[in-house]
Amino acid sequence: MSEFLPVSMAELEAIGIHQPDFVYITGDAYVDHPSFGVAIISRVLAANGYTVAILPQPDWHSDTDFMRFGKPKLGFLVTAGNIDSMVAHYTAAKKKRSDDAYSAGNKAGKRPDRAVIVYCKKIREIYGDIPILIGGLEASLRRFAHYDYWEDTVRPSILVDSTADLLMFGMGERSILEIAQRMKQGEPVSKITDIRGTCYLTTPDHTPFGCAECPSFQQVAEKKDAYAKACRIQYDQQDEVSGKRIIQRHGSRMLVQNPPAISLTQEEMDAVYALPYARTYHPMYEKEGGVPAIQEVRFSITHNRGCFGFCNFCSIALHQGRKMTTRSEESVLSEARLLTELPDFKGYIHDVGGPTANFRHPSCEKQAEHGLCKGKKCLAPTPCKNLTVDHKDYLRLLRKLREIPKIKRVFIRSGIRYDYLMADPDESFFRELIRHHVSGQLKVAPEHCSPAVLDAMGKPHIETYKKFQKRFYQLTKSFGMEQYLVPYLMSSHPGSTIRDAIALACFLKEEGIRPEQVQDFYPTPGTISTCMFYTGLNPYTMQPVYVPRTAKEKAEQRALLQYFKPEHDAVIRAALIRAGRRDLIGNGPHCLIPAAPPANPKKHQDSRHRLQNAAKGGGNTRCARPKATEKSAARSSRSSAKHGGRNTGSR
């Protein structure tokens, strides 16, 4: 196993270093695995001759931890970790979580709220004017003035609140190396203002020319239409080919976002994933039971980055970007062979994916020269006529992985875009997916059934899912297998009225889908859906969007997705009556709830289940069992959730 980077002064001095180039502070426990951004960035720096000391989850109530390594030569790197610290701490209902998969022992409370800001301010208190570079998901998605769901207000760029010098957004390998090189050569961090993939603050008179200007922080905080316009400008310029610099005034200073970093070449991406990761959590966490987040990714492989699916509730477009980049076959195969040599490998590769597993090349040919289209989606509401649909490369990779000695099965768990799959006239991948790569359940994400809601989400209409579902079960049956679809569903997304929620409940009953867990829309920073939630406007049309806001309506929409549970009957009954849908109350096969509350809820639920099976012809009821982890909690942000890593469960 590879050595971890130093986490103590003793470990640092043991390798002959008394002052590191960088001290890297993270809100996560230290896990040296390429699914974790800290691991990738620290290993990239180390491979290029820089010394990095890791300071995971420092106690922010005192100075002691922050002084562990003394003053670094070049500066501090700061990240909240793999997900936004507020998402890590709170549910969509703003209730405090009791667990944290990115902390040892799954214990919450080991990082502060708004971790990037808290860490940076503590550094400033102790070290004064020392370079601070921030990155990771929390910094990346809060780089502009943004709506903060937890305070229900618009906050300024995190650069303002944190007092950091530079912000790196997206995949940071190129950015950090150029910054480090120039700082090592003696260039002041205040002069490093031209690096792609970075943001900085300056005075208005030093603002570069030729920028796309957003409405100011003051304007977006006061006027919701200005916020919506700013959101569109920001998204329209997030292409590495066509994107301009973006500026947004914050009082007496100007925020400048340089164009996104150029994506790594395949050779460069291969090199990143070939670095000597320890591939597990630091042994100092063993006494607490380890770090749960490693379990889902320890035997998984990332083969791509980016996602041209571009769902509105997803942050990938603003973070990783829509352009696809991939590793070579040999790079992926080499990592698979390495996994087979780990002592606890049992023969199963848990995933070969990324933000979306079955994307392995650009969505069309023209984007190499012109970039991805502004304001358009490659797949929704229908596939673009220029879309290139081809699973051959991915299928060839999966076949080669299956042939490696010691590998029993190769699963795909990070999400299949079923609309992309259905657009492929060659069914070879679909067939082999079912025969070889599904571990009993395949997670897919129809999200809703209402055309209006799906349009607000940027998702294909439900007819595509129905075709996919039908063919999935036809193929499964023809292979003599028992496998099921696990559909992700979302309640209370902008655009969803109570009538839309009722329509979804009727769809679920008709299809025999009984989700055990459902997810409310979570307005995480930076997404288009969050813009709709805050402003009530679609930023691309400026047309009003209905937003379910009250706790009562959210509870009703959530309950309707689980209409089959007797404990929801009273809430659903009130919602149906108010919506004028008394026809769905009663004992008929189309009804959602009975005419009167049952005397024996448990017996009644079993009876309702049997009736539903009978109505469907028996044995065709499918239960959705999304795993209740921090990843599923953060699905609505739908980002890579990792500064340089992968994202499981993608929609």
Residue 443's identity, in one-letter code, is: K
Give the pLDDT score at 596: 76
Place of tokens 């352009």: 323
Q: How confident is the model at residue 636 (pLDDT cuts 50, 70, 90)?
A: very low
> 554-565 pLDDT, tens per residue?
999 999 999 999
Q: How confident is the model at residue 640 (pLDDT cuts 50, 70, 90)?
A: very low
Residue 26's identity, in one-letter code, is: T
Q: What is the mean pLDDT of residues 536-557?
A: 97
Q: What percent of the chain has pLDDT over 90?
A: 89
Rounded distance, CA 261 to CA 644, Å?
13
Q: What is the mean pLDDT of residues 290-310?
A: 96
Residues 56/48, Cβ–Cβ less than 8 Å: no
3-state secondary structure of 280: strand
The answer to whether residue 331 scores a pLDDT higher than 80 is: yes
Provide DSSP, 108-133. S-SS-TTHHHHHHHHHHHHHSS--EE
The answer to whether residue 200 scores a pLDDT higher than 80 is: yes
Beta strands in 169-226 (DSSP E): 198-202, 212-213
Instruction: Report the first-to-last Cα separation within the chain, whole angstroms.
Output: 34
Burial grade of 413 (CB within 10 A; 0-12, 13-18, 19 or more): buried
The answer to whether residue 613 scores a pLDDT higher than 80 is: no
The domain 299-562+620-637 belongs to what CATH superfamily?
tm_1862 like domain (3.80.30.20)
Q: How confident is the model at residue 597 (pLDDT cuts 50, 70, 90)?
A: low
Strand partners, 201: 255
Give the pLDDT score at 516: 80
- Per CATH, the number for 9-194 is 3.40.50.280
Q: Quick one: DSSP state of residue 636?
A: G
Cα atoms found within 13 Å of the Cα of residue 181, Cβ hemisphere only: 9
Give the pLDDT score at 524: 97
Q: How far is CA 12 from the centre of its chain?
A: 34
The region, left, alpha or beta by phi > 0 then psi within -120 to 50, assigned to residue 289 is: left
Q: Quick one: DSSP state of residue 587?
A: S
Rounded distance, CA 314 to CA 545, Å?
18
> 234-254 pLDDT, tens per residue?
999 999 999 999 999 999 999
Residue 321: both structure tokens together: 């970007």
Give the pLDDT score at 169: 97
Can you give the pTM of this predicted structure? 0.92
Residue boundaries of the structural domains of the chain: 9-194, 299-562+620-637
Residue 150: both structure tokens together: 């937890």
Average pLDDT, the chain: 92
User: Checking DSSP bridges between strand 198-202 and strand 212-213, what pairing results, if any?
Assistant: unpaired
Closest CA to 526 of 168, 119, 230, 160: 230
Give the pLDDT score at 517: 79
Q: What is the mean pLDDT of residues 530-557?
A: 97
Q: What is the mean pLDDT of residues 160-186?
A: 97
Strand partners, 99: 107
Q: How far is CA 590 from CA 173, 333, 510, 581, 615, in A?
A: 55, 51, 8, 12, 10
Rounded distance, CA 583 to CA 240, Å?
53
Residue 615: both structure tokens together: 């109505």
Residue 181: both structure tokens together: 């090189």
Q: What is the mean pLDDT of residues 483-505?
A: 96
Q: What is the mean pLDDT of residues 189-216?
A: 97
Q: How far is CA 415 from CA 35, 67, 102, 165, 395, in A?
A: 16, 42, 21, 37, 15
Task: Give exposure, 282-317, as e/b (b: 16+ Cβ within 10 Å).
Answer: beebeeeebbbbbebbbbbbbbbbbbbbbbbbbbbb
Residue 545's identity, in one-letter code, is: V
Residue 315's identity, in one-letter code, is: S
> 439-492 pLDDT, tens per residue?
899 999 999 999 999 999 999 999 999 999 999 999 999 999 999 999 999 999
Q: How confident is the model at residue 643 (pLDDT cuts 50, 70, 90)?
A: very low
Rounded distance, CA 78 to CA 26, Å?
6
Rounded distance, CA 508 to CA 615, Å?
13
Q: What is the mean pLDDT of residues 394-414?
A: 96
Rounded distance, CA 505 to CA 499, Å?
10
Burial grade of 610 (CB within 10 A; 0-12, 13-18, 19 or more): exposed
Residue 151: both structure tokens together: 């305070």
Lowest average pLDDT, out of 49-58, 268-277, 407-416, 597-606, goes to 597-606
Give the pLDDT score at 329: 98
Residues 356/650, Cβ–Cβ less than 8 Å: yes
Give the pLDDT score at 617: 39
Question: Which H or E run contains 490?
Answer: strand 484-491
